[in-house]
Structure 1
Amino acid sequence: MDDGITVEINGIKIRLPEKATLGDAIKASDAPYKKGTSVGILKKSDIEQEENVAEYRIITTSGEFMIELFENHSPSRKQWIEQFNEYKDIPLRWSSRDAVAFGPFVSDMIPERETGTYREYEVLFAAGGGDPHNTHMIITKDRHSAEYGAPQEGAFGRVVSGKSVLENLEKKDSIIEVKPVLSWKHTGEHLLTTDLETLLEEGEKVFTYLDVVMSPESPLGAEHFFALIRTGSFKVDMASSSFIADHMLLGELPAYENYESRSRGSVFLRTVGYGAGKAFISTEDRTASILHSVIGHVDQGMELVKMAEVGHRLLVHTTPPQIMLHGKSFLDAEEEMASFGVKLVREGDTTDEALIVAQEPDTTIEILKEGTVKATGVDSSKIVSIELYDDVAPITLDFFRHAIGLQFRPIGILPLIMMYENTYIFKAEKPAERYKEILPENTPQKKVVAGEIGVTNQAAKRMGMVGVKTKDDDLFGPTGEKFISTNIIGRILDIEKLQHFREGDKIYVIERNREGDS
């Protein structure tokens, strides 16, 4: 007698022994997971009446996507609910830039011989040549107008996840099966947890991550989002009935690039006004906004988004992944770019061991579009490694990372403006002190240790100056200010490199202790 259990993890069924834990399931399935991120578990429940099921998984030979029915009582919706079980082994009939069509099959629909206007990712029935015996299921990929022979009511649903599958369909593909998706939102039978010792039960569904497909219309917004999830996760700082939000980059002003309706699963940024810099994921449809730029869409893992609660972190993968060459050697960068089919052009110090400090284009989407990237290398002696004290100086480090570019890049830039005795003074190119507080924080008590990095706080006129000393000092801080005016934010790990720099030089700094960095 088989005493095991069957569960789903990220849509894939696996067999586990009785009393298997969440950790066992992740290990057995090799599912994406990162320590500290939350995992969603959807409990098994009785299947609702089919007329109340609004979501369906359409499984094809090239992957699966999910559709959601519109909340109406149209004949097309009724036909779908009554006949979805029959829509299997249906081939892909044609594919174009605007839509794909599966069929034909027989229906009793009443077609209209008029041009209809359709939005992206809508689902509708259409009778080829006006003949219901030649009915197709059409899924739009872009906004367009066409005469499909659709019924008067037009579309009856829309695609809510798996949109990338539609782009990869080929003539040989077909629908394998259609499955209703239990609406768990009303039952409340779900669990969001970080405890991998949680026991699993028969029929449960596990979700460990979400995949966000970045919009080609938002190259700068994509980089903002990449910086937000730099450590691999989206932190839920706010959760409402219609969205979740991560506030980590509050205060950074992203570019407005994409005016688009914020449909369920849309990822968007607040670009101006109160809350600028926040990132959101829609859990319900919302109209387009001149304040919010849509930068991507959740393609997998919406269940995890809907379960999200304040304080939890959700593991995020993106399509495509970010191209970030900063801090890498040319040898490693060339190997990485080859995997993307991108040509790397070397500039500056072009030796294999040189470390990259700049790339052009600067955004992932533009690099992939152009198929080439120019990278500037420098000798490793020009890059200084730093360790930052997040636990004792979080407010000042928020300023520091914004000012020198470490919020968005692994390597920051510190211009050296003054040298005297054993003191080096820097002034960041970005005047972040105009919108970031530098309150007294982690001020030294008895002495400053050689190599410690100090920032002048709001108690002194030269607020925002950055400094470091090569010798211990029991009178003044790294910027030459009194201790009460100095915030200690970290230390330089290889302070001996400073002797190679002169006033006017730009020093490249790389953070070595931050999670997700080298």
Structure 2
Amino acid sequence: MKRTQTNKVFKEVLDVDGQITVEINGIEIKLPERSTLGDAIRVSGSPYQEGVSVGILKRSEMEQEENVVEYRIVTTSGEFIIDLFEKHSPSKEQWINRFREYIDIPLRWISRDAVAFGPFVSEMAPKREKGAYKEYELLFAAGGGDPQNTHLIITKARHSAEYGAPLEGAFGKVVSGKSVLDNLEKKDRILEIKPVISWKQTGEHLLTTDLTIPLEDGEKVFTFLNVMLSAESPHGAEHFFAVIRSGTFKVDMVSSSFISDHALLGELPVYENYEPRTRGTVFLRTVGYGAGKAFISTDDRTSSILHSVIGHVEQGMELVGMAEIGHRLLVHTTPPQIMLHGKSFLEAEEELAPYGVKLIREGDIADEALIVSQEPDTTIEILREGSVKATGVDDSKIVSIELYDNDAPMTLDFFRHAIGLQFRPVGIMPLIMMYENTYIFKAEKPAERYKEILPENTPKKMVVSGEIGVTNQAAKRMGMIGVKTKDDDLFGPTGEKFISTNIIGRILDIQKLQNFKEGDKVYVIERNRGDTHEQ
């Protein structure tokens, strides 16, 4: 929704008698009574995608602040959320009883390892000795050992220091909005500290796709979650981008400590980042049973040599906490993916402009040439280096394909993995043989080693020109890919009997195959993903 449209709706809303106040993604808005969930999304302009699940936290008279473990700290440069440790300590007690007194205190100093807000007066008992601190911890510290000169310190990295902290050290940790700490400047200050009442505490919540549900005064709505990707996991980030290719995280499993999406089960991500899987951590299983799954932690767990951390949920953990199997959650990432494949050089330059990234053209460098590869291949490395080499080809070297997801889902799982369409909009099919009206391809990636190709959607009477066939497990040449340029009532596209051939889709511009010779790479772009084909 455009800003002018949103402002117009707001004005109309405010002119109506009988209003309710609701909070959507942390922002309060006013609506007429009997407004629906859809009204709130439209008025606020909140992120939303058709079919995703939206969380509603119901207002409860039973909400009690003394049981709160999370607090939202709003600063002049943004907000972050802290989580208090379970263990009781004098520092934790001090925070619970006096957190309102820390509103409006300025940022006193910044270092590579930590930031400090203050000073203020406390009754803490400081210890003049060096302490060891982990990243994103909170502690009180008395400058010069004087409680009259107390500061709230938030660490940004693992380090040792003598802060004049109490014996118990840290009393909490930052669980969301960590990037705000890197943006803080000396002019900043704390504006507000708000206890976060979670759905688990109230026990009243709803996860729904129905936008006609009426909202009530005081309810809180969550439409999306934002994931801050780790600079230490460039390849893992690309795996996650592929998992959420549709813009959503599909909840395939829910446990007491995580939710998971199994879209890329069987793909082996690179292990890159060993760190604790705290609440809100996004991580990948890299080896063994379940490799390829993507997880979001809902509880704290230790580091694992089987799981590589690729990011953290910065906003929307409430939605994660409400997740149920089968629901899809809308996901935004910081940074968003830089994917140039399938774009023209002009389109790529427009996409890169906001990042200040230089585009180096290779191959066919015409403005209208289509990009089939990029180096570096990952978003994080591109942003780190500030430049990217992209290889372009003429449109005649790219064929468009339509795949029959409803007819051959298992074979398409193999096909997309084998030619790279699980991770990129452009796949590669090396042409290894041509004879008469038949083209035979062999994918560079041997996905048939870990993907089954059982007989599925086999032809009955005829194979139509342009249809793509894959040899199934009933024949020795399992995994071969073929296309015929003429109808055939005897053999499938790979030259096999019909019973050994799975039909998975069709090439939309079959005439382009005449531009290729044996040994060439045929680039393919998938169109109309999810369409059904009827034979």
- The TM-score range, normalised by the shorter chain, is over 0.9
The answer as to 2:459 corresponding to 1:447 is no
1:466 to 461, 481, 490: 481
Q: Aligned-pair distance for 1:47?
A: 5.5
Unaligned runs of 5+ in 2: 1-15
Question: Which residue of structure 1 lines up, in the alignment, with residue 437 of structure 2?
Answer: 422
Question: Which residue of structure 2 lines up, in the alignment, with residue 51 of structure 1?
Answer: 66
Instruction: Give runs of aligned pairs for residues 191-230 of structure 1, distance below 5 A.
Output: 191-230=206-245
2:379 to 355, 360, 364: 364
What is the DSSP-based 3-state SS (H/G/I as helix, E as strand, rest coil) of the residue aligned with 1:339? helix
Question: Which residue of structure 1 lines up, in the alignment, with residue 357 of structure 2?
Answer: 342
List structure 1 segments (4+ residues) > 4 angstroms apart after TM superposition.
Answer: none
1:279 to 288, 294, 313: 294
Q: Distance in 2 between matches of 1:72 and 1:258?
A: 28
Give aligned-pair identity as a percent: 81
2:405 to 379, 390, 395: 390
Instruction: Give runs of aligned pairs for residues 369-518 of structure 1, distance below 5 A.
Output: 369-514=384-529
Q: Distance in 1 between matches of 2:318 and 2:413?
A: 32
What is the DSSP-based 3-state SS (H/G/I as helix, E as strand, rest coil) of the residue aligned with 1:211? strand
One-letter code aligned to 2:128: R
Question: Which residue of structure 2 lines up, in the alignment, with residue 300 of structure 1?
Answer: 315
What is the DSSP-based 3-state SS (H/G/I as helix, E as strand, rest coil) of the residue aligned with 1:502? coil
The answer as to 2:157 corresponding to 1:159 is no
One-letter code aligned to 1:107: S
Contact in 2 for aligned 1:231/1:515 (Cα 8 Å): no
Question: Which residue of structure 1 lines up, in the alignment, with residue 11 of structure 2?
Answer: none
Q: Aligned-pair distance for 1:6?
A: 0.5
Question: Which residue of structure 2 lines up, in the alignment, with residue 172 of structure 1?
Answer: 187
Contact in 1 for aligned 2:262/2:292 (Cα 8 Å): yes
One-letter code aligned to 1:356: I
The answer as to 2:92 corresponding to 1:77 is yes
Q: Distance in 1 between matches of 2:41 and 2:333?
A: 20
Q: Aligned-pair distance for 1:341?
A: 1.1
Q: Aligned-pair distance for 1:183?
A: 3.5
Q: Distance in 2 between matches of 1:46 and 1:113?
A: 45
One-letter code aligned to 2:35: A
2:116 to 72, 93, 101: 101
Question: Which residue of structure 1 lines up, in the alignment, with residue 101 of structure 2?
Answer: 86
2:255 to 240, 246, 252: 240
Q: Distance in 2 between matches of 1:177 and 1:256?
A: 39
1:309 to 310, 314, 324: 324
Contact in 2 for aligned 1:403/1:430 (Cα 8 Å): yes
The number of equivalent residue pairs is 516
The alpha-carbon distance between structure 1 residues 467 and 164, as it changes in their structure 2 partners (threshold 3 A), is same
The answer as to 2:24 corresponding to 1:9 is yes
Q: Distance in 2 between matches of 1:2 and 1:138?
A: 46
What is the DSSP-based 3-state SS (H/G/I as helix, E as strand, rest coil) of the residue aligned with 1:408? coil
Q: Distance in 2 between matches of 1:44 and 1:92?
A: 34
Q: Distance in 2 between matches of 1:230 and 1:183?
A: 29
Question: Which residue of structure 1 lines up, in the alignment, with residue 5 of structure 2?
Answer: none
Contact in 1 for aligned 2:63/2:201 (Cα 8 Å): no
What is the TM-score normalised by the length of structure 1?
0.98
Q: Aligned-pair distance for 1:339?
A: 1.1
Question: Which residue of structure 1 lines up, in the alignment, with residue 279 of structure 2?
Answer: 264
What is the DSSP-based 3-state SS (H/G/I as helix, E as strand, rest coil) of the residue aligned with 1:185? helix
What is the DSSP-based 3-state SS (H/G/I as helix, E as strand, rest coil) of the residue aligned with 2:73? strand
What is the DSSP-based 3-state SS (H/G/I as helix, E as strand, rest coil) of the residue aligned with 2:59? coil
Contact in 2 for aligned 1:115/1:148 (Cα 8 Å): yes
Give CA deviations for 1:337-391 in whole Å, capped at 9, x if unaligned: 1211111100000110000001001111111111110000000110000010111
Contact in 2 for aligned 1:387/1:512 (Cα 8 Å): yes
Unaligned runs of 5+ in 1: none
The answer as to 2:333 corresponding to 1:318 is yes
One-letter code aligned to 1:423: T
Q: Aligned-pair distance for 1:392?
A: 0.8
Q: Distance in 2 between matches of 1:515 and 1:337?
A: 29
Name which of structure 1's ranges 377-386 and 158-167 shifts more when overlaid on structure 2: 158-167
Q: Aligned-pair distance for 1:515?
A: 6.9
The answer as to 2:88 corresponding to 1:68 is no
Q: Distance in 2 between matches of 1:447 and 1:199?
A: 54
Q: Aligned-pair distance for 1:2?
A: 4.2
One-letter code aligned to 1:128: G
Q: Distance in 2 between matches of 1:49 and 1:420?
A: 76
Q: Aligned-pair distance for 1:79?
A: 0.7
One-letter code aligned to 1:500: N
Q: Distance in 1 between matches of 2:181 and 2:350?
A: 30
Q: Aligned-pair distance for 1:71?
A: 1.1
2:41 to 26, 29, 32: 26
Name which of structure 1's ranges 202-211 and 91-100 shifts more when overlaid on structure 2: 91-100
CA RMSD, 1 decimal: 1.2
Q: Aligned-pair distance for 1:280?
A: 0.5
1:35 to 29, 50, 64: 50
What is the DSSP-based 3-state SS (H/G/I as helix, E as strand, rest coil) of the residue aligned with 2:175? strand
Contact in 2 for aligned 1:160/1:265 (Cα 8 Å): yes
